[in-house]
Structure 1
Amino acid sequence: MDLVIQLTKVLNSEQKAVMCLDLQLYIIAKKIQWHWPDLYGEREIVLLLGPLHIEQAFLRMLGEYMEGCGWTTIITHSGIATSGSAEALMKVTHIKRAREAHQITAAVLHCLLMEEFTNSHPEGGDIELQQWIDERVKLSPTFLFWLWLHGFFLFDHINYSRWLPVHIFDLEQLERTCPSVHQAFSEGQFVVNKTNNLFSSLGIDHAHEQNNASVKGKGGISGLTHDPSALRRWTIGGPEITRILNEFENEEDDDDTGDFGSHHEQKESYQMRFLQHCIALKDSFHEFDNPFSLNQEELIALDTRVAISAEGVAALVGAKTKGSKLYTDFVNERLLERTKSLYDPITKCNTKIFAAKKKPSKCTAVDILKSEVNLFSRSFVVSIARKLDLDKFFEYENLSYPPSLAVGGKMRTGDKNQLTLILETLGQNPQGEVPTQADAAIIDGGCLVHAVKPRPDQKTFTEYVKQLLGVINFMVSTLKVQRVDIAWDRYLKHSLKEATRTDRGQGKRRVDLPAKDKLPPDWEDYLRDDQNKVELFRYLSQALLEKCEGIQMVTNVDSKIISSVPGNSSLHGASAEMEEADGRVILHLQDMVVHGGSKTVVVRSTDTDVLVLLVSFFPKLRDNGLQKLWVNYGSKAKRRFISIHGIASKLGDMKSVALRGFHAFTGSDVTAFFGSKGKRSAWNSWTTEETTVAFKRISDPLSAEDEIDESIVASIERFVISMYGVKGDKSIASARKELFASDNKHISAIPPSKAALAEKIKRAAYVAGNLWGSSTLLEGPTVSPEGWGFTFSDGWKIVWTQLPDVWEGVRELDRCGCSTQCGTFRCCCRRLGLPCTPACKKCKGNCDNKPKTTHQTEDDDVLGDD
């Protein structure tokens, strides 16, 4: 800095020194300025943060912003770059190439934007471009993403976040601190010109880097570092030799006017190459999609069609406001008001848009264990000084949810297939009868797409539809059926199954792949996303209806039911509101029997729920003429036929209907399984007619005014007590106490409390009676889940119990926090009429509020009388 100041005084004594630096040297120089303001302050030397280094940092930030959006795939597909060099462009390993790639992209995006604007308003109109942009930004996050960019703060470039505002602040004050330098900057000085074209002026650090590259050549100082004499000669002579060579090469370009030639980007060859790259990139965008033409509410990666999570969309929408606020706050707090030190830590934003991930749910296993240890240790300490009613203690759950039905607040899951194996055993026949002919067949559409995966050689959905038609036609020819119905699931917002689907795993959202006729690379992952399946099922139902020949096909497109032969089904044109395909299977089956006169029907499914519903509704359908009902169950080598009519015959009509209630109560996709009791244990405990009557009652269709009878609740309580192996006529609380005390059971291995069991019965009644019980009705479920073991709060949530947990319910567990003697009513223990115990936080029981001695009477304690 001394040298620059001295040289400036020699060359131009009227001028203040200007020094151009990269970021690391700029940081050191600013610290020197602030430490010695008289010698090196802003009025003595102007520090200029190198424009080339700022550009490189900005391009890197741009690469982080575009990570995962599909740009590298599109630019590789266009032929402008290879896959490896495209990734290098994102990381800006070569500034010139990265700049050029982004210039081409910016030009193409502008063309695409104007193209979509023109297509949206072919006849013109009064709408202005900016007005149209403002409207589209509100509708499409993808439009917003490709429209504008954000700042260093958002992407955690901490050094530039800290020092670039300082540099900008200095430049804003430059007119006051160094007017002559400010005037020179305004006139475009302190740049390097290789031509007379002002637009191509270079930053000083840019020219310096170019000179370094010219001086170093290909070898640089390699091989010279061990010879000081040779290194000194190269250091002095190298730049001069390079200057002489450059002047000789450029001599022919000089003219009398001093024009040093045109910029290299003005040459025809470069212009043609730039135009060719723009055309190629634009064509590549069109092959994937014009980002400004997308109308989806999701933010979409153009190459994979993956829809980004809500967290990524939120980061994008709030990015501009958040980045501006962070910058403004930094300048105000650290440079203007100076309420914070410049060196105080800058909180990272961790902004990720396409790379955003949902926060994983916190593991609560340790918290649960701590709660249990705390509960029982305190119970032991309290029991020394207070009489603890254990029956009352076991009327409550030790957490806000019953551990026997939930883990970490989430519903326990289990193996539904156990019930399938039990029912299959009942339906076996000694003759080994299997259907060779049927009047009609029903296919569970979700089961079909999971069982029939696209072959490796298939690339399009058109090819996949042909594969599905082959499977359907084989079924038709084998069973000689005249009618095939396909039932597809619907995926509704705020579904009761939302939590179950989330626990099964969330796939990547791939938008409009069927419309693009392009199969996803990972079929199983594709089927894990609900919206993917909505688009897929809609596409498949329409495509199969169009291509089916020689058979009657009845299927649903979303909620609307369509028949390829309209007169042969009473459902044609109707709207069925049920969500699940299992209910639709029953609705279609009823139509086949009642309207079509079918006597033998085959259902293709691998869902235990479908099996249960078919058994449950068979008595009603049999009375309408159905004779034989088979389920083609399993996949690949394990596919077999299960006789529904055989199962129903073994169970009897009442138990067949009651099977709905049994299945819903012991665990399904919407209701919790018991912690240590599976379907087989529950089945083996279902031995009394009283239990059958109770399950039959909760299987009956519900009305809004219905309530569960106390007698039904008592019957199911006795069933649960029996299932857990407790003998005798005991209450749930007594059974819980006995199991916990005698068998040393974990708290999750004993039955839920009476209050929790009551809510579980309500949920089972709602699922069995309302969701499944209304399967024969087009309008579907008519009763709201509210009050039936569920409550709505940003989606349907389970109500585990109406009672508080044991900490609030059993007052004997209370402890005071008194720091002085507990002789007044300010002590919560005394207010409750309880003595203090060693569990109390501060007094530890060593206070005036002692337990009553044996010679004290009840009248001696006034608080006890209260």
Structure 2
Amino acid sequence: MRSIKTTGGLTRGRGMSESQRALWILSMPDCAEVNNAMMSFTGTKFYSSDQHKEDGVSRKKRDTKDTMIFASFLEERNPFIEEEGMRNIETGVSATSDVNADRAKDIGLGILKSMEGKCVSDFTFKRKHQAITLQDKPICVNVEPEIATIDPQLLFQKFNVAADSIYETNQKYFSMNYLVNQVLCLIRPRIMRAASKSTLADAIWNLGDCNTEYTDTVYSYVVDGGSLMHKIPWKSGLTFGEICKRYVDSVKCNGPNSVVVVFDGYVSGPDTKDAMHLKRTKGIFGTKVTFTETTPFRSKKEYILANNENKQNFIEMLSKKMHSNGIQTKHASADADVLIAKTAVESSISHPTILLGEDTDLLVLLLYYYTVGSNNLIFKPNHDKKTKSKIWDINKTKVVLGQDMCKVLPIIHAISGCDTTSKLYGVGKVATLKKFIDSPILKELGEVFLKESLVEDVKNSGEKIITFLYGGVPLEGLDILRYKKFANRVLTCKEVIHIHTLPPTTETAAYHSLRAYFQVQTWIGGEEIDPCDFGWLIVNGKLMPIKTTRQPAPQRLLSIIRCNCKTNCDTRRCTCRKHGLECNIACGECRGQSCMNSRHGDIDVEADELFSDSS
């Protein structure tokens, strides 16, 4: 660097151009040879000290060390292997198919060619025409194409006005969804409204004494691997091996006791939690990263873990590290909640056990599987927060709740909303738990979800449960209840009644019930069933909830078009007549009454003919 800055170097005089830089670099070896030859010819030598710091012993040792580090780096990350696509050899990030930085020269020449013959002020460098570089940034993907949206409230109001000419009773058109993106609890396409799962735990906690009292007993530990993954922060600059060591140290803090860490699986294909993962990651899909224990971490933790393959590879690396430190691990093929709960319950049979986790799903499963009278089983959060947390004694909690309620607890959790089912608007988990406690009818209806049942039985039982939760009579059904709720609110409320606040339609509730049944069967270890037969479909390789198979409204309502004819609406120039529809009250001039394209118009014509005949 010194020779660059001194007189004659690159930063002096005219500056630094590509040709000057190349000349300076390529001439250095020759200049060194000329200098050595002149010193040898003249017999000139330096005996006092090295005349340049680059010739010193310490600098030579450092250069040798740096060279070996670089050689070791390239040995682990060979840049010359044959593979499809590009990747960053340091971070391991693989390029997506749209990265074209390797064709930068051709792209630049194309931009120059597009500039020919154009005025400078008229030409703009558009980003879409520039080269796309390899960046360690997430990719946002859509699981399905975007669709045009309409204000559901406006659509609903139009249908209310127009449906009188189609239906004899108002209750019939309340069986429609009036915009598929607003049905039941779907707040965006394919994304379900998330329930506050912790409220169910709070409601159970408030029923009685569920707290535990620690003793000097030696406990075995079962750790939720998913919760553990989020516990440890990843510091940029650390290698992946050092990050794994932090996880191992965190687990070993529990002492010399027996520890089992249970991890989720992420390479088993489409999963019913895909919709929830999509919502949590906000559509971010991390790029694939190839890493070893010596690879430095240069990205963000959420970007790395947003890719399932990255997450699975890290779990496998972490498991090897744990095994070498005497920590046992288990791996589920997909979601590990059932395996975690069963591992903890089986451990409690032989000795007292503590389960470290935070998910309400685990609490529900522990209460379902645990047998009263076994060794003490404690469920506590896996974090170091200073705030006081609930530490559950599963034995005491099951006694407080009762065996019958623990049996139907998975149904309550699934119906009121979990990771694979949506929340019912206006029906919380606290109210659902209370109604199940007070109503033997709900427990009886829930039996269908706990055994191998026909699809129609699940739909019928689910509709009755949801109708009951919304305060209706199970025999009248949801469609009639929707109309009653709407009519009651219109007469009593001072605000606008929004569609999504009404109970779900019969069909929408049916798909919700099927998804709840599938989840309950998964939790209790029931029959193996195909999720595509129970409210799911595969979209771009991911399982997404079915909204509805019906149109949002009858075709005649969907085709409603208002006209604004100044004449008598008796020709095809009338928009309503052109589409085979009668004029209605929303039409601009005729209002559906004073034209030839309405029922009233026909009556008026007949009346005119009658009077003309009589005269």
CA distance in 2, matches of 1:666, 1:321: 58
Partners of 2:474 and 2:186 lie apart in 1 by 27
Pair 1:751-2:513 in alignment: no
Of 2, 11, 18, the match for 1:96: 18
* CA offset digits 1:450-498 (Å, max 9, x no partner): 22446x7994455555544444344345xxx5x4221001113322222
Q: Please name the residue that 1:267 is paired with.
A: 30
Pick from 162, 182, 192 the counterpart of residue 411 of structure 1: 192
The 3-state SS of whatever aligns with 1:504 is helix
What secondary structure does 1:511 align onto? coil
Please state if 1:302 is matched with 2:76.
Answer: no
- Give TM-score, length-normalised by structure 2: 0.73
Give the whole-Å Cα distance in 2 for the aligned partners of 1:398 and 1:837.
19
Matched-pair contact (CA < 8 Å) for 1:733–1:754: yes
Counterpart residue number, 2:43:
none
The amino acid across from 1:582 in the alignment is: D
The whole-number CA distance in structure 2 between the counterparts of 1:80 and 1:730 is 91
Q: 1:452, 1:345 → 2: CA distance?
A: 47
- Cα distance in 2 between the residues matched to 1:740 and 1:280: 75
- Aligned-partner Cα distance in 2 for 1:306–1:80: 37
Match for 2:220 among 419, 440, 462? 440
Tell me the equivalent position of 1:379. 160
1:787 is matched with: 533
Offset of 1:287 from its aligned partner?
Answer: 2.1
The corresponding residue for 1:588 is 343
The aligned runs of 1:684-723 (5 Å cut-off) are 684-686=434-436, 687-700=438-451, 708-709=457-458, 711-722=460-471
Asked if 2 retains the 8 angstrom alpha-carbon contact of 1:452 and 1:468, the reply is: yes
CA-atom RMSD, angstroms? 5.0
Q: 1:801 aligns with which of 548, 555, 564?
A: 548
Matched, 1:497 2:273: yes
Structure 2 match to 1:629: 377
Amino acid at match of 1:401: N
Pairs within 5 Å for 1:361-510? 370-377=151-158, 379-380=160-161, 382=162, 389-409=169-189, 410-426=191-207, 428-429=209-210, 433-434=213-214, 436-437=216-217, 440-453=220-233, 459-477=238-256, 481=257, 483-492=258-267, 493-505=269-281, 506=284, 509=287
Structure 1 position 651 matched with structure 2 position 401: yes
Task: Give SS of 1:680's match.
Answer: helix
Q: CA deviation at 1:399?
A: 1.0
Q: 1:296 to 1:402 in 2, by over 3 A?
A: farther
Q: Partner of 1:641 in structure 2?
A: 391
Report which of the two structures shows the higher radius of gyration computed on alpha carbons.
Answer: 1
Decide whether aligned partners of structure 1 residues 545 and 839 sit closer, same or farther in structure 2, where only a CA change above 3 A counts.
Answer: same
Pair 1:287 & 2:66 matched: no
Q: Report the CA distance between 1:501 and its aligned residue.
A: 1.9
Gaps of 5+ in 2: 6-10, 36-53, 55-59, 609-615
> Pairwise mapping of residues 99-178 of structure 1 onto structure 2 (< 5 A)?
100=22
Alignment of 1:521-670 (within 5 A): 522-523=300-301, 526-548=304-326, 553-556=327-330, 559=331, 577=333, 579-589=334-344, 591-592=346-347, 597-619=349-371, 626-633=374-381, 635-636=383-384, 637=386, 638-670=388-420
Alignment partners' CA distance in 2, 1:321 and 1:691 = 70
Q: Which amino acid aligns with 1:598?
A: S
For 1:844 and 1:407, the matched residues in 2 are separated by: 35
Greater relative contact order (CA < 8 Å, ≥ 6 in sequence): 2
- The unaligned stretches of length 5 or more in structure 1 are 1-75, 83-87, 105-262, 336-342, 560-575, 776-780, 861-866
Residues 405 and 673 in structure 1, CA contact (< 8 A), matched pair in contact too: yes
Aligned twin of 1:40: none
Report the AA paired with residue 264 of structure 2.
Answer: D
Instruction: State the aligned residue count.
Output: 550
CA contact (8 A) 2:184 2:505 kept: no
1:316 counterpart letter in structure 2? N
Question: Is the contact between residue 605 and residue 632 of structure 1 (CA under 8 Å) also seen in structure 2?
Answer: yes
**Equivalent residue for 1:54?**
none
Give the whole-Å Cα distance in 2 for the aligned partners of 1:788 and 1:460. Answer: 44
Secondary structure at the counterpart of residue 129 of structure 2 = coil
Measured against aligned partners, the alpha-carbon deviations of 1:728-747 in whole angstroms (never above 9, x if no partner) come to 96432232223334144322
Q: Specify the code of the residue in structure 2 equivalent to 1:691.
A: L
Question: In the alignment, is the contact (CA less than 8 A) between 2:77 and 2:90 conserved in 1?
Answer: no
Contact 2:244–2:318 (CA<8 Å) still a contact in 1?
A: yes
Q: Residue 314 of structure 1 aligns with which residue?
A: 98
Residue identity matched to 1:393:
Y
| CA distance, structure 2, for counterparts of residue 633 and residue 463 of structure 1 | 25
The one of 294, 312, 326 equivalent to 1:516 is: 294
Q: Is the 8 A contact 1:509 1:531 kept in 2?
A: no
Task: Please tell me whether the aligned partners of residues 561 and 576 of structure 2 are also in contact (alpha carbons under 8 angstroms).
Answer: yes
Which residue in the other structure is 2:48 paired with? none
Code of the aligned partner of 2:224: D
Q: Percent identity?
A: 18
Q: Is the 8 A contact 1:631 1:642 kept in 2?
A: yes
Give the C-alpha shift of residue 513 in structure 1.
Answer: 3.9
Pick closer, same or farther for the CA change 1:359–1:509 going to 2, 3 Å.
closer
Give me the whole-angstrom Cα distance separating, in 1, the residues matched to 2:4 and 2:274.
43
Aligned to 2:42: none
Shift of residue 500, structure 1, vs aligned partner: 1.9
Find the residue that maps to 1:433 and give its secondary structure.
Answer: coil
Provide Cα deviations, 1:75-100, integer angstroms capped at 9, x if missing partner. x9xx9999xxxxx9xxxx94328964
Offset from partner CA, 1:533-592 (integer Å, 9 cap, x none): 2122111111111221xxxx5423xx5xxxxxxxxxxxxxxxx53x11212213424654
Return closer, same or farther for 1:429/1:677 CA change in 2, 3 Å cut-off.
Answer: closer
Q: Residue by residue, what CA displacement relative to the aligned partner does 1:591-619 show, whole Å, maximum 9, x if unpaired?
A: 546xxx52532211111111111112225
| Aligned partners of 1:488 and 1:537 also within 8 Å | yes
**1:105-145 residue CA offsets vs partner (Å, 9 max, x unmatched):** xxxxxxxxxxxxxxxxxxxxxxxxxxxxxxxxxxxxxxxxx
